[in-house]
């Protein structure tokens, strides 16, 4: 029930003085009340809960988050311990007394 889900606004109309939208949830279409997000536009996505749009989904922020995730491993590859990475890649244990010099770390 708490499971609010993202949906895309297909069209908007006033009904009995209430702002309503038709919203597409990946194929399932529902009537949704826009009174709490009156400036939501056709084509935008919102978090919808029990027939009410509660918050607009921000595409730019979603993109940034995914980019951040994608870059996580990059930093590890760039600045991580190369012995550890090589051991992981080969599937064998790290050789004894293998140390990474300061130069290699930098």
Q: Between residues 4 and 12, which has the closer beta carbon with respect to other proteins?
A: 4
To the nearest whole angstrom, how small is the minimum distance from the Cβ of residue 48 to other proteins? Answer: 10
> What does residue 32 show for φ and ψ, rounded to 5 degrees?
-135, 135
Nearer to other proteins, 88 or 98 (CB): 88
Write out the residues near other proteins by the rule CB under 8 A: 1-6, 8, 16, 18, 25-26, 30-31, 33, 35-38, 45, 47, 49-52, 54-55, 57-59, 61-62, 64-66, 69-70, 72-73, 76, 80
Q: Which helix (H) or strand (E) holds 14?
A: strand 5-15
Tell me if 88 sits within 8 A of 95, measured CB to CB: no
In degrees and rounded to multiples of 5, residue 19 shows phi and psi of: -80, 115
């Amino acid at each position: 029930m708490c499971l609010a889900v993202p949906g895309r606004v297909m069209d908007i109309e006033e009904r009995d003085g209430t702002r309503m939208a038709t919203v597409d949830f990946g194929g399932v279409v529902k009537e949704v009340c826009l009174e709490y997000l009156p400036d939501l536009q056709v084509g935008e996505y919102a978090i919808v809960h029990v027939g009410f749009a509660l918050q607009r989904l921000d595409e730019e922020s979603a993109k940034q988050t995914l980019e951040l995730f994608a870059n996580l491993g990059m930093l590890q590859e760039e600045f991580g311990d190369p012995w550890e990475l090589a051991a992981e890649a080969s599937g064998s244990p790290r050789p004894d007394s293998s140390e990474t010099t300061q130069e290699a770390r930098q």
